[in-house]
Copies of this chain bind each other. A is one copy, B any other.
């Protein structure tokens, strides 16, 4: 547990910064800003529009209290931000003007305080605001990756994260996961066996993970597995990008007929109930944590922050100056005013409430599986070598159990990842008999269309295949299991019937 004055210094990781990022010039305006702050200075230097000419005078936001039931409006609190007002600390004007690129200092301080409460990173880290994890990941790729590099990801990974780097010629080198997350042994084996002479490609140096409630697999990496993965990353000098929007949405195991009432615990108990983050075990400064308020407040904020080694945040600030500037001012103002009203403890209570709401939705979906299928533990199912549970139907004549799909009951996030079994399905057998390159994907596409026609929409698993190049997109060329395909269920949006 690191207090602010007992942090480890990071190891030197500057060699990870790519050529383009290294060559960014510092902004010459920094020198001037220092002078601008001087008393009595007549500044004819800045190109800032005059704040008296901004048409917005006051912003008020009506907000739920941390522990409210949704949509109970009686207890709304109003966050009130005026211009040059007596509110003083939260004068709206500063959020309407250009910023320095790093974001509002109070919000950065808040990010640090919140992170210390939740992760207590053992090593020195710096903080930098960003406009959402999509942009944050884009900046990290711009910081660390050269064209044609490899990035280490799960077998099934977040497609927008890949779509960003596919045009750079970057490819995924996927590592398989089990119920505890990415295999540390698999990671080590891949790295040990990487022969730069044969592959003509540098050994990968970047590991991208959604470590809690992974999108799409729903898997949360266990504490023990994290320690093993971190040790491999130290050994092979890998930077870990922890893209962790679902961190606070961790749930107990599914139990049928769980208590439907919400019981809050203390902030300390809540925080210690969560699996430790990679950041919390980062003794070397090799974790870049991408924090986002999209899932905990709302996505339209486009607001989050980096927690990273200062050698990285300094370069990330340089690219922020020329690619995005500060996150939107109203988003910063709202978030800071909300934390002023709620306090960090209020926010942690809000997270508990949110956790309970999504846990309830997880339970609805798993219960629906149990109501509609015969759900049996995988080991007792017709597909005993799979993980988790298998939803089956019973053949009327033989009373034999037929597997429809297997799934792992997620203990975090918004998703249930499911493997559908096609063996013996007449239409699939028919497609196999035709000279089609990928009968699995052809049947999966037909199945998806058929479900959509019945007004149930899933996300095809093919969206999440790790991109290994255009020659590795079919079921066979990817080395994926035959006679099956994946679909993702989201339990975040639908209402209970």
Query: Beta-carbon contacts of A448-472 to B below 8 Å, as 1s and 0s?
Result: 0000100111111011000000000
List, in ascending order, chain B residues with CB within 8 A of A458's CB: 44-45
A159 within 8 A of B: yes
List, in ascending order, chain B residues with CB within 8 A of A327's CB: 302, 328
Residue contact B71 to A63, C-beta cutoff 8 Å: no
Copies of this subunit? 2
List, in ascending order, chain B residues with CB within 8 A of A135's CB: 323-325
A56 within 8 A of B: yes
A99 CA / B462 CA spacing, docked (Å)? 23
A256 within 8 A of B: no
A19 CA / B134 CA spacing, docked (Å)? 22
A78 CA / B95 CA spacing, docked (Å)? 19
Residue contact A61 to B63, C-beta cutoff 8 Å: no
Residue contact B334 to A331, C-beta cutoff 8 Å: no
List, in ascending order, chain B residues with CB within 8 A of A455's CB: 38, 40-42
Q: Interface residue tally of chain A, by bracket?
A: 35 or more
Residue contact A168 to B20, C-beta cutoff 8 Å: yes
Residue contact A54 to B298, C-beta cutoff 8 Å: yes
Interface segment, A24-32, A257-265, A383-391, A419-427?
A24-32
A240 to chain B, nearest CB (A): 21
List, in ascending order, chain B residues with CB within 8 A of A493's CB: 43-44, 46, 48-50
Interface set of A (CB-CB < 8 Å, partner B): 20-21, 23-25, 27-29, 32, 35-36, 38, 40-64, 70-71, 73, 76, 95-99, 131-132, 134-135, 138, 159-160, 163-164, 166-168, 215, 294-295, 297-303, 321-332, 334, 338, 350, 354, 357-358, 361, 365, 414-415, 452, 455-460, 462-463, 488-494
